[in-house]
Amino acid sequence: MRRALVSMMVLVVALVAAQNLAAQHKGAGVISGVVLGPDDKPVPHASVTYQSSAGIAPHAVHTDSQGHFTIAKLRSDNYDLRASGRGVYSEWEKNVTVRSGQTKSVTLRLIYAKQIPKAYTKSKAKE
């Protein structure tokens, strides 16, 4: 009887903790997207820098092998994003509005460099 009561209490505490954790992240927003190079092909392992539009708390994530990225658990706010890869940068994508429970999709294009790296000029020459 005592074991059953203790087991029941542990289960109740675990359920309450799980429910509180889910409630904290339930309203979180997501930004997902792709980074494209000057040749309009996805850029694997590019860096995506993001921060609130007020400039608070900059962070970075990286794209996967297909150039896609996901930024999860964002508070409702406006965010600025910029990508970089292979020595090339995108413009800042400003005021991307994230709302609770929504996913915002963004495409970042790498276009700025002092000189376009050979990694991009070779692929253009083949076309």
CATH of the domain at 120: 2.60.40.10
In DSSP notation, 70-110 reads: EEEEEPSEEEEEEEEETTEEEPPEEEEEE-TT-EEEEEEEE
For the chain, the domain total comes to 1
CA torsion through residues 99, 101, 107, 112, sign: positive
Is residue 75 situated within a structural domain? Answer: yes
pLDDT in tens, the chain (127 residues): 666 655 565 555 555 454 544 444 456 999 999 999 988 999 999 999 999 988 888 899 999 999 999 999 999 999 999 999 988 899 999 999 999 999 999 999 998 776 666 666 655 444 4
Structure pTM?
0.69
Is residue 19 situated within a structural domain? Answer: no
Is residue 4 situated within a structural domain? Answer: no
- With residue 15 as reference, give the H or E element that holds it: helix 2-26
Q: State the residue range of the domain holding 63.
A: 27-126
Separation between Cα atoms, residue 34 and residue 48, nearest integer Å: 10
Separation between Cα atoms, residue 82 and residue 71, nearest integer Å: 13
